[in-house]
Amino acid sequence: MEFLIITSIKLALILFVFMTTLAYLQWVERKVIAHVQVRMGPSRVGPHGLLQPLADVIKLITKEGVLPPHVNTFYYLAAPFLAVFFALISVSFIPFGTGITIPVFHVGGATYGPYKTMFELADTNMGVLLVLAISSMGVYGIALAGWSSNNKYALMGGLRSSAQMISYELPMSLAIAAPLLSIGSLNLRQISDAQAGYSLGFIPHWSVFAFPAPQFFSFIIFMIAAFAETNRIPFDLPEAENELVAGFHVEYSSMTFASFFMAEYANMVTVCSMATLLFLGGWQPLWPVAYGSNLVAPLILAGAGALCVYHGLNPARPFDRITLPVFGVIFFGLAALMAFPPTVPILMPMFWFLAKVGFLLFVFIWIRATLPRFRYDQLMGFAWKFLFPVALANLLITGFLVALVS
C-alpha cells in the first residue's frame, strides 16, 4: 500500500515538473536564440516573457482543431498521441538522484514507513534497453502522421524521418554499448554509481575519462546521433520548410500540432539525461567533496540572487524594480536550502545531474542557433559512410582494451 501511495505522489510530482520543464524549455530556447541573434525574444507576456509558455498553451488549446476531410482519421489522431506517449514514458526509467528516506506517515488510520524511495518511477535492471526500445517507437508517430495526412509533403517528411531515425539508431546503439562494456550493467542507477570516485584525487571516473578506454568518441557519436534522433538542426530534414512546407505535421493544428513539439522537447530531455548517466557520471560531482563541490550550487544561486537584486536596484525597465528583487529572494532561499546540512545529501546529487542535463540542452539550443541544415543525401551518407563505421571501430577498440586489462 505504501508503495502505491508514494509512487502515485512521485508520478504526480514528476509529471508536473517535467511538463513545466517542457513548456519553459521552449521559452529558454527562444531567449537563447534571441541573444545569439541580438534580438529581444519573448518579453511582453509577464515579466521577461515568463508567462509566454502559458499564453502559448492557452492559445493552442482554444484554437480550432481542423480535421482535413481527406485524412485517415484514426491514424491521423493516433499519431500525435503515440509520439507524446513514447516520449513521456521513457522518462519513468531515468534516475535523477540518490533517493530519500520518507519518515513514518499515517493514511486512513494506518501507519506506514519509514520507506526508502528512489528518484525515478521504475528502477529496473534493463533500464538502458527499455529507454532505447521505447524511445525508438516514437518514429511510428511521425511516420503515421505523414502517411495518414494524405499530403505529399507530409508523406515525404514522414518517410525522411523514418529513414533518418532508423539509420542513426545504429551508431547511437554502438556508442551506448561501448561504456556498457566497461561498466558491465544495464541498470541506469548502477551505471551512475560505477562512475563514482577519482583518479589521482581529481580526475573523475566518468566514462569519458575512465581507464582503460575513455569514451570521449562514444560521447561525441552519441550526441551527433541524438541530434538526428530528435530531428533537431542540423538534422531537421523531416521539417524542412523550404522543401516540405512543415513536413510531417503540415496538416495538423491546435493541440495535435503542439503534441509533436512536446514530444521533440521530451526526447531532448531524455537523450540528454541518458548522455549524463552513461558518459558524464550521472549525479557524481565534477570534483571531490573535499575540494568544495558541495559549495558550487549555493554559490551559484547566491550569485544569481545578488545579480537580480543589483539589477532591481538599477532597473533597465520600470517593472524590473519589482520582479528582479522577488527573483533575488527566491534564489537566496534556494541557496540557503542547498547549504542546509540535512538536505545536502538529497539535493546536491540532483543539482549535479540537472546541471549536466541543462548544459547539454543548452548545447542543443546553441547548435540550432548556429548551424545550417544538411542536404538529405549528406544526412544519410554521413550516417552510413562515416558515423556507423567510426562507432563500430570504437566499439571494437573498447572491447579489446577491456579484455586486455580484465
Tens digits of per-residue pLDDT, 91-139? 888 888 777 776 666 666 666 666 677 777 877 888 888 888 888 888 8
What the block records as the C-alpha cell of 320 is: 524590473
Domain assignment of residue 363, yes or no: yes
When pLDDT is averaged across residues 290-296 and rounded to a whole number, the result is 85
Cβ 36 vs Cβ 366: under 8 Å: yes
Domain assignment of residue 176, yes or no: yes
Residue 221 has pLDDT above 90, yes or no: yes
Cβ 207 vs Cβ 182: under 8 Å: yes
Residue 291 has pLDDT above 90, yes or no: no
Residue 231 has pLDDT above 70, yes or no: yes
Cβ 377 vs Cβ 293: under 8 Å: no
- Number of domains present in the structure of the chain: 1
| CB neighbour list of residue 93: distance below 8 Å, 6 or more residues apart | 120, 121, 122, 124, 127, 130, 131, 188
Distance CA 229, CA 168 (A): 7
Cβ 215 vs Cβ 221: under 8 Å: no
Domain assignment of residue 37, yes or no: no
Domain assignment of residue 203, yes or no: yes
- Between the alpha carbon of residue 12 and those of residues 4, 6, 16, 306, 371, the distances in Å are 12, 10, 6, 33, 38
Q: Regarding predicted confidence, which is higher, 245 or 177?
A: 177
pLDDT tens string 4-41: 777 788 888 888 888 888 888 989 999 999 988 888 88
82, 213, 50: which is closest to 147 by C-alpha? 82
| pLDDT value at residue 242 | 60
| pLDDT value at residue 108 | 62
Domain assignment of residue 317, yes or no: no
- Whether residue 69 has a cis bond before it, omega within 30° of 0: no
Cβ 177 vs Cβ 396: under 8 Å: no
Residue 199 has pLDDT above 90, yes or no: no
Domain assignment of residue 119, yes or no: no
CB atoms within 10 A of CB 229: 25
Residue 226 has pLDDT above 70, yes or no: yes
When pLDDT is averaged across residues 291-295 and rounded to a whole number, the result is 84
| pLDDT value at residue 377 | 82
When pLDDT is averaged across residues 392-406 and rounded to a whole number, the result is 88
Residue 84 has pLDDT above 70, yes or no: yes
pLDDT > 90: what percent of the chain?
Answer: 20
Domain assignment of residue 335, yes or no: no
Helix (H) or strand (E) holding 116: strand 115-117
pLDDT tens string 315-356: 877 888 888 888 999 999 999 998 888 888 888 888 999 999
When pLDDT is averaged across residues 189-194 and rounded to a whole number, the result is 89
Backbone angles phi, psi at 214, to 5 degrees: -60, 135
- Residue-number span of the structural domain to which 85 is assigned: 59-94+126-284+340-405
Domain assignment of residue 359, yes or no: yes
Distance CA 18, CA 275 (A): 18
Q: What is the Cα 39 distance to its own chain's centre?
A: 26
